């Protein structure tokens, strides 16, 4: 599965240099992940489970600046699944110029609220993620 989420750069996204502040890109990619999850998971099943998905690592590379009024597209897909962790690739593209703005790898874990620990992925989720990775390749 591959999700595309569009975000228009607003004035409150800008820093003193009048381009998007680096911290805002973390918010943009988070919005992209939530949009991805909206499509990937059944909301009722997901929220009734004991599981949460904390981010444990973000590696972000800034490629070019974005400015007021730019239309950005956050592209999100799974790239790797381990026993307890999963990695997504997220790319932010300037829609008008087709220029990469940000590339990020985000890793999170399957975490049991009851056990208060990372746990192996349930089989149904693992299969769905593996299928999504295979479809994208």
Our CA dihedral for 20, 24, 5, 49, rounded to 10 degrees, sits at: 180
Distance, CA of 111 to CA of 117 (rounded, Å):
6
Distance, CA of 13 to CA of 89 (rounded, Å):
22
Contact 25, 92 (CB under 8 A): yes
What residues are annotated to the active site? 15
Helix, strand or coil for residue 87? strand
Contact 41, 47 (CB under 8 A): no
């Amino acid at each position: 599965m591959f999700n595309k989420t569009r975000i228009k750069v607003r004035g409150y996204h800008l820093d003193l240099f009048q381009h998007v502040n680096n911290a805002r890109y973390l918010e943009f990619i988070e919005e992209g992940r939530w949009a991805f999850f909206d499509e990937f998971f059944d909301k009722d099943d997901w929220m009734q489970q004991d599981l949460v998905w904390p981010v444990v690592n973000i590696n972000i590379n800034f490629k070019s600046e974005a400015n007021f009024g730019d239309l950005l597209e956050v592209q999100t897909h799974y790239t790797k699944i381990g026993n307890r962790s999963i990695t997504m690739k997220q790319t932010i593209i300037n829609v008008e110029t087709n220029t990469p703005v940000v590339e990020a790898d985000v890793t999170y874990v399957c975490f049991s609220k009851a056990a208060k620990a990372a746990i192996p992925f349930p089989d149904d989720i693992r299969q769905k993620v593996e299928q999504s990775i295979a479809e994208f390749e």
